[in-house]
Structure 1
Amino acid sequence: MKLINKFTKTSLDARRIVILGVHGWFPKRSIQKMVGDPTGTSVKFCQEMAYSVITFFNDLGMEISNENVIQIPLSGEGIVENRVDNLYKQLEKRMDEVRSADIVLVSAHSQGTPVSVFILNRLLENKEIDPERQTIGMLAMAGIHHGPFPIMRENFIVKFVFNNNDENDVAKASGEELFEFNDPHEKITKYYHAALFNVLNSGVRICAVASWFDQVVPLYSATLQGINHPNLYRAIYVERRDYNDDFFTCLIDFVMKLRNRGISDFGLLVHLSDLIMGSFVYGTQGHSTIYESDNVYK
């Protein structure tokens, strides 16, 4: 019966849709006062995804309303492991809704993407979700899968953020942990890759979307250059003002299409990533503008 359900299940079977929203890394409180309080992005991710899902089904001729969509924004700071434990406890209070869903979607950003993968992996291990019965997908926006730009360690703004934290400040510890994802031999990275493969092999589909002129996460990191899997789809978001229909843009588009078809680019995307790095100084804020676009969620 499970085999029959696996091959006959379609998105048209959707009656109950659950959306989880997971925000990225928060800087320390004093920095938030200067750059703005990021609290509430998990709510935004849920709302944007809900709107896109409802629009998608309505365009297919299905009547899906807000009553069919359950939004569960998850919020909490810290290093990845602590965030996973904290957010999973929040989710346990609404686990019945997750179990009964026809579709489970996760919308995550930056550091929230590895956090979300670990949460999905725990849900699978605890048999709270079932890819053979449910359609499960994740939107990873500017995900810090292979870490931030390594050169950021020497950035004066980053040093200011980290060096002006108290020794036990949560923001400092979680911020420094981000650079551990640069090294595939770090313990957190090994755990992450194992969880990621388990999630993908189980049938969960991940859409990894990078951002043009991202000042934090390189293109190769946001699109999971080091991972090959048929359930992984890569895309890139470009703000309208930054788009040029030139050779370089078409080259990156071509390389992304190669990777989506399972064809190697021989590491070309890694070399191209530095050329579209954003700037903290000149206002190319691609790392945060990515989650403002409706098309990213659609």
Structure 2
Amino acid sequence: MESNDNEHEALNNRRGSFWHIWSDSDEVKENEGDGWNIGRRMSTLSFIGRAQPVVMRSVSFEEIVEESRWWNPMTWRGTGVVEVESNGEILSAGIVEDELNKLQRKEIVNQLKCLSYGIPSSKNWAVFRSDDDLKYPEIILSGVSGCNKPVRVKEVPVSMFEIYERNLKKTDTALIHNESLVLPEIENNYRVNTLRSEARIRLSQYVRGFTPQRHLYLQNMKNAQKSYKRAFVLSIHGFLPQKIVRNIIGESSLNSELMTKKVVSEMKRWGDINNVDINFQTLSVEGYGKREDRVNEIIEIIKDWDEEIKKCEYFVCVSNGMNCSISLKVLRFLVDEGLLSNEIQDKLGFISLGGAYYGALESIESKISNRGNVGQDAEIISEMFGMSENQVFEDFEILLKENFKVSLVGSLNDCFVGIHSSLLLDIDHCNIYRNIFIDGKENLSDFLISLIELIVIVKNLKYKDYQLLNEISQYFQGNVGEGGHFIMMEDKNSYRNGIKFMMDTSNSIYDETLKKVEFRNECNDYHIPWSLRGFVEEVIGLKRIEAAETLKGLHEEYLVWEPVEGKMKELKVCMEGFAGVLSEL
């Protein structure tokens, strides 16, 4: 049967799209990962499971076909539902794809299921989801011919990388632990911006004698009337060589979709509290390979959604570990291309979980051998210890100029990345908010928890900590192979603090620049007494903190601290001058 030319022309002129009808044939049902995809204009439509092309019958775009054998028709990106017929037979309503998309989807699924460590070239894939169409995500795979455009899938296949790592996930239910903490909470770090503080800030710009406050304030964001915003969430995750994950880190690195779900959940929670209805679009990126190759491939992937990024009011990127430096490059590209800026978006945020900005801990380099590694594994391992600090500084400088709110989370018992690397202790900017993840299984004393929280608060307010946090961090470093690097990814507070910092803090009225601070990489027990003394003197001079009361409470907790572990006993010996310092002040 031939269709009317005018009907074809009207259909093809409709946003350059047409509907594909899903086949109910057995061949399609047995194909794992089948979904649907919106294609570009074509003169004919191929029907899955049939040798002959089908021809469209005259229907309007507003017509809704109610009969569907296994799911209701959906509308996406302005497309409509049509009925089709072949050889006089009316086919079932729904979505259909052409043969090329079917082959493309099969290839993507097969590639992800067959990926293994030591592959000769980098691979990156991404899953796009939208609140406008929750049922079927889009997936795209780089580095494979014919798979460089997104296609629809019913289920996202699990790659072999993740299957390998799932067996490494350790669960310790026999022991009773304290609750894990992410400190400091945003309310404990920043004051509410009152009329008095606002007046002092303004006067400091024009009148001498008023000390400028170069940190941020909390502001009330709750709206009287419900508002509607669009948010784009970008998650970037990657897999390390199996030897590193199994022998050094000792736990699963999880996946980008987990991070995406956590961010979306916390942003919805924030929206409910502040009377904001948020429409989400998310892009979860996975990959494996060298940094430069991955950056280039991820940029090519993201280009398919550049319009969605540019139109959003809220943009947040989340990443972890070695992938944070990759995320920096990708975000810098988006800024350079004009897709992200303080003038386009209302809020820009970056949540970094255990970021290895300066590489992995030097102490574990001797425990890693390149013998037996194939493909890129040896090069990836070498990259872990060759990060450029200058390049990291330049990338952050670009983002902070566009008013990105950066939340850095570091794990106290991380066995892979040091606190200096994950919290960037050698740079300062008011838009950088540092958090410490304290694993509940460490069962730290109240004194250590209070001290660590106070140190991070002081650092976030851009005052000196005299490197006390870095000096004592050596006593909490986890043992190789026992985990501690990725566990923070499962804690909701790792994301909640970052979202609240992005959404609830004011913007600096000063033209802040990213600054380098003096920093020594070497830790030494003899530095701790001097660092502790300098830190206590710094706290005494802070107006933001009730110094006398805070230090008094800290001293009382110190007196009842009775460590039983060897490392903690050594740390207490290094801090024996704590009481003496307080008595002299």
The normalised TM-score by structure 2 is 0.44
Equivalent in 495, 501, 512 of residue 297 of structure 1: 495
Equivalent in 400, 406, 430 of residue 230 of structure 1: 430
Indicate if the aligned counterparts of 1:113 and 1:143 stay in contact, CA closer than 8 A. yes
Q: 2: distance between equivalents of 1:111 and 1:126? A: 24
Residue 192 (structure 1) aligns with:
392
Residue 323 (structure 2) aligns with:
112
How far has the Cα of 1:48 moved from its partner?
Answer: 1.2
Q: 2: distance between equivalents of 1:141 and 1:260? A: 17
Q: Secondary structure at the match of 1:233?
A: strand
Residue 175 (structure 1) aligns with:
381
How far has the Cα of 1:57 moved from its partner?
Answer: 0.8
Partner amino acid for 2:271?
F
What CA deviation, in whole Å up to 9, does each residue of 1:263-285 have, x standing for no partner? 0112222212211111124x3x2
Partner amino acid for 2:255?
T
How far has the Cα of 1:86 moved from its partner?
Answer: 1.1
User: Is 1:83 aligned with 2:308?
Assistant: no
Q: 2: distance between equivalents of 1:11 and 1:127? A: 30
Residue 255 (structure 2) aligns with:
41
Q: 1: distance between equivalents of 2:443 and 2:280? A: 34
Indicate if the aligned counterparts of 1:136 and 1:205 stay in contact, CA closer than 8 A. yes
Partner amino acid for 2:373?
N
Change (3 A) 1:248 1:44: same
How far has the Cα of 1:260 moved from its partner?
Answer: 0.2
Equivalent in 17, 37, 40 of residue 231 of structure 2: 17
Q: Secondary structure at the match of 2:339?
A: coil
How far has the Cα of 1:245 moved from its partner?
Answer: 3.7
Partner amino acid for 2:484?
G
Change (3 A) 1:37 1:194: same
Partner amino acid for 1:91?
I
Q: 1: distance between equivalents of 2:386 and 2:244? A: 22
Indicate if the aligned counterparts of 2:222 and 2:274 stay in contact, CA closer than 8 A. no
Q: What pairs up with 1:130-149 in 2 under 5 angstroms?
A: 130-134=341-345, 135-149=347-361
Q: What pairs up with 1:121-160 in 2 under 5 angstroms?
A: 121-134=332-345, 135-155=347-367, 158-159=368-369
Q: 2: distance between equivalents of 1:14 and 1:150? A: 48
Indicate if the aligned counterparts of 1:220 and 1:273 stay in contact, CA closer than 8 A. no
How far has the Cα of 1:227 moved from its partner?
Answer: 1.2
Q: 2: distance between equivalents of 1:172 and 1:143? A: 21
Q: 1: distance between equivalents of 2:277 and 2:264? A: 14
Residue 265 (structure 1) aligns with:
465
Partner amino acid for 2:281?
I
User: Is 1:254 aligned with 2:460?
Assistant: no
Change (3 A) 1:105 1:11: farther
Q: 2: distance between equivalents of 1:90 and 1:36? A: 28
Equivalent in 354, 371, 380 of residue 163 of structure 1: 371
How far has the Cα of 1:31 moved from its partner?
Answer: 6.9
How far has the Cα of 1:294 moved from its partner?
Answer: 1.1
Q: Secondary structure at the match of 1:276?
A: coil
Partner amino acid for 1:76?
G
Residue 92 (structure 2) aligns with:
none
Change (3 A) 1:220 1:36: closer
Indicate if the aligned counterparts of 1:140 and 1:209 stay in contact, CA closer than 8 A. yes
Q: 2: distance between equivalents of 1:252 and 1:202? A: 30
Q: Secondary structure at the match of 2:429?
A: coil
Change (3 A) 1:42 1:176: same
Indicate if the aligned counterparts of 2:251 and 2:486 stay in contact, CA closer than 8 A. no
How far has the Cα of 1:59 moved from its partner?
Answer: 2.0
Q: Percent identity?
A: 20
Equivalent in 485, 488, 495 of residue 287 of structure 1: 485
User: Is 1:60 aligned with 2:258?
Assistant: no
Number of residue pairs matched? 270
Indicate if the aligned counterparts of 2:316 and 2:350 stay in contact, CA closer than 8 A. yes
How far has the Cα of 1:81 moved from its partner?
Answer: 1.6
Q: Secondary structure at the match of 2:328?
A: helix
The normalised TM-score by structure 1 is 0.83
Q: Which has the higher contact order (CA 8 A, sep 6+)?
A: 1
How far has the Cα of 1:243 moved from its partner?
Answer: 4.1
What CA deviation, in whole Å up to 9, does each residue of 1:79-98 have, x standing for no partner? 22221111111111111111
Q: Secondary structure at the match of 1:153?
A: helix
Residue 7 (structure 1) aligns with:
none
Change (3 A) 1:58 1:43: same
How far has the Cα of 1:11 moved from its partner?
Answer: 8.9
1 or 2, which has the higher helix percentage? 1
Q: Secondary structure at the match of 2:287?
A: coil
Higher Cα radius of gyration:
2
Q: 2: distance between equivalents of 1:288 and 1:110? A: 8
Indicate if the aligned counterparts of 1:25 and 1:175 stay in contact, CA closer than 8 A. no
Change (3 A) 1:170 1:147: same
Residue 62 (structure 2) aligns with:
none
How far has the Cα of 1:77 moved from its partner?
Answer: 1.7
* Superposition RMSD in Å: 2.2
Change (3 A) 1:296 1:42: same
- Bigger CA drift: 223-232 or 73-82? 73-82
How far has the Cα of 1:176 moved from its partner?
Answer: 1.6
Residue 37 (structure 2) aligns with:
none
Indicate if the aligned counterparts of 1:25 and 1:110 stay in contact, CA closer than 8 A. no
Q: Secondary structure at the match of 1:249?
A: helix
Change (3 A) 1:214 1:33: closer
Q: 2: distance between equivalents of 1:17 and 1:201? A: 21
- Bigger CA drift: 102-111 or 124-133? 124-133
How far has the Cα of 1:110 moved from its partner?
Answer: 0.4
What CA deviation, in whole Å up to 9, does each residue of 1:8-41 have, x standing for no partner? xx7966611000011144214x777896875x61
Change (3 A) 1:287 1:31: closer
Change (3 A) 1:149 1:14: farther
Partner amino acid for 2:488?
I
